[in-house]
Amino acid sequence: MDFTEELLAYVRHPSVSADPAYRQGMVGAREHACGLLRRAGLDVEVVPTPLHPILVARRRGPREWPHVVLYGHYDVQPPDPLDLWTSPAFEPVVRDGRVWGRGTADNKGPHLVAIVALARLLKRRPDLPLRVTFVIEGEEEIGSPSFPEFLDRHKAELAEAGCVILSDTASPSSDQIVITNGLRGIVGLEVSLTGPRGDLHSGLEGGAVYNPIQALAEICASLHKADNTVAVDGFYEGVRQPAPWEREQLARLGLTDAAYADRLGVDALHPAPGLTGAEATRFAPTLEFNGIGGGYQGEGSKTVIPSKAFAKITCRLVPGMDPARVADRVEAAIRARVPRGIRCDIQRRQDSAAYFVCPPGRPDTPPNQRPLLAKAFAEADAAIAAAFGRAPLYLREGGSVPIIEDIRRETGLDSVMIGLFTPDSRLHAPDENLELRMAERALAAYGRLLERLAS
């Protein structure tokens, strides 16, 4: 099974879960993944959901064999803006040692690494004493709405495994792989403010009513202090600080604030007091404005006082924070700041807790850690060191993969997350890509990891 050719074929299916116009692309990607899994020697089941089915592929064996779950997702982000792609998003090409196209790094390439590595390993060792269950979903990019029901129905089977292994996280470079041991949680809110029953002439009615855009701007500005901490009572309740070994691992990156700012294309960073920029993105909670709007958006001017304004807000959470409590407090803070004459509606969106797992051998490693999980961490460490020539770092990541915490809550399984994309991979942006040299070394690492887990 040739990795590059299979990735090119896989990416040609435009599997955008967020847009019904791409329904046929979702079907094509799903069927292609089924074919890959069957060629690897697995039994494939397509589990229906209200939206996009979930693939479950099994390599069965005696119950005494070790059992691991491998996770991935076949859906991708929308390709927009299309005019910023060097080559079309769903016409993947190999250029400069990379495969360019939507989904190459998130997540078709990384979970294809696991499929191809297993296929090659089973061709060499058809009697390998290892049970494997692949779970590949089609709704990760829209928040995995069908996954909780799937998990409820399959949790008994999945709980028989010893751990989950996935590659849907980042590494700082293709020469320094990270095993991610923590992910921030998330809560989302959409705030809508309404003033007059319709848009007003700013000359005739200006000065008589509270402009919803002004109210929204004042509310948003009040949710942070000058030092960039969140100005919501109780927001930081329960926050668990990183252990010294975590700070030491992060310091090994050698990422100064100046270098980080240069990478991001800004003149300066704005972390909360006592944190570097790199620490702020991994260890600290946030409240961010992801979208804001109201009034006339077209060319030229239109002198109106708009009837409505809105803001989309997400909070990233760290271990110790309760998502429902955070959402309650942010909503209460917003409502308390709404001026008279303005009506406020708040809709809640995403809601998931932070995830943290401690690798073996640390002072805070739980004594009852599952043996296969501990072995998976140790063997992943050795396999990455052998394939990439450098031991991995263990770091929290600032993003969220909500289903990881769901899996732990329902099955007790923890996850080993191996980062197979980098900042150069341009996730969710035009010109997404996957470095082939990184993928080839990852194939070797995954092959060794799976073989060692069977021993």
Q: What is the pLDDT of residue 257?
A: 95
Is the pLDDT score of 399 beyond 90? no
Q: What confidence tier does 143 reach under pLDDT thresholds 50, 70, 90? A: confident
Q: What is the pLDDT of residue 402?
A: 85
The answer to whether residues 117 and 446 touch, using CB atoms and an 8 Å cutoff, is yes
Q: β-strand 304-305 against 355-356: which pairing, if any? A: unpaired
What gap in Å lies between CA 47 and CA 149, rounded to an integer? 11
Joined together, the tokens standing for residue 121 give 């390993």
Q: Which long-range contacts (CB under 8 A, 24 or more apart) does 360-368 make?
A: 362/243, 362/245, 363/243, 363/245, 364/243
Is the pLDDT score of 400 beyond 90? no
What gap in Å lies between CA 329 and CA 235, rounded to an integer? 7
Residue 311: C-alpha distances to residues 123, 190, 286, 288 (Å): 53, 6, 16, 10
Q: What confidence tier does 351 reach under pLDDT thresholds 50, 70, 90? A: confident
Q: What confidence tier does 10 reach under pLDDT thresholds 50, 70, 90? A: very high
In tens, the pLDDT along 202-216 reads 998 999 999 999 999
What gap in Å lies between CA 282 and CA 85, rounded to an integer? 30
pTM: 0.90
Q: What is the pLDDT of residue 453?
A: 97
Largest CA distance in the chain: 82
Can you give the C-alpha Rg of the chain in angstroms? 24
Residue that is written with structure tokens 């100005």 in the block: 231
Calculated CA dihedral for residues 262, 188, 246, 228, nearest 10 degrees: 50
In tens, the pLDDT along 356-397 reads 999 999 988 998 899 999 999 999 999 999 999 999 999 999
In tens, the pLDDT along 248-265 reads 999 999 999 999 999 899
Is the pLDDT score of 308 beyond 90? yes
Name the residue among 179, 217, 199 with its Cα closest to residue 359. 179
Name the residue among 289, 354, 294 with its Cα closest to residue 320. 354
The whole-chain average pLDDT of the chain stands at 96
What gap in Å lies between CA 216 and CA 207, rounded to an integer? 17
- List beta partners, residue 312: 190, 291
Is the pLDDT score of 401 beyond 90? no
Name the residue among 289, 295, 288 with its Cα closest to residue 212. 295
Please compute the mean of the pLDDT values over residues 176-200 and round it to a whole number: 96
Q: What is the pLDDT of residue 348?
A: 95
Q: What is the CB neighbour count within 10 angstroms for residue 367?
A: 4
3-state secondary structure labels for all residues of the chain: CCHHHHHHHHHCCCCECCCHHHHHHHHHHHHHHHHHHHHCCCEEEEECCCCCCEEEEEECCCCCCCEEEEEEECCECCCCCHHHCCCCCCCCEEECCEEECCCHHHHHHHHHHHHHHHHHHHHHCCCCCCEEEEEEECCHHHCCCCHHHHHHHHHHHHCCCCEEEECCCECCECCECEEEEEECEEEEEEEEEECCCCCEECCCCCCCCCCHHHHHHHHHHCCECCCCCECCCCCCCCCCCCCHHHHHHHHCCCCCHHHHHHHHCCCCCCCCCCCCHHHHHHHCCEEEEEEEEECCCCCCCCCEECCEEEEEEEEEECCCCCHHHHHHHHHHHHHHHCCCCCEEEEEEEEEECCEECCCCCCCCCCCCCCHHHHHHHHHHHHHHHHHHCCCCEEEEECCCCHHHHHHHHHHCCCEEEECCECHHHCCCCCCCEEEHHHHHHHHHHHHHHHHHHCC
In tens, the pLDDT along 25-70 reads 999 999 999 999 999 999 999 999 999 999 999 999 999 999 999 9
Joined together, the tokens standing for residue 35 give 């074919």
**Domains along the chain with CATH numbers:** 3-183+354-453 (3.40.630.10), 185-239+285-351 (3.30.70.360)
Is the pLDDT score of 437 beyond 90? yes
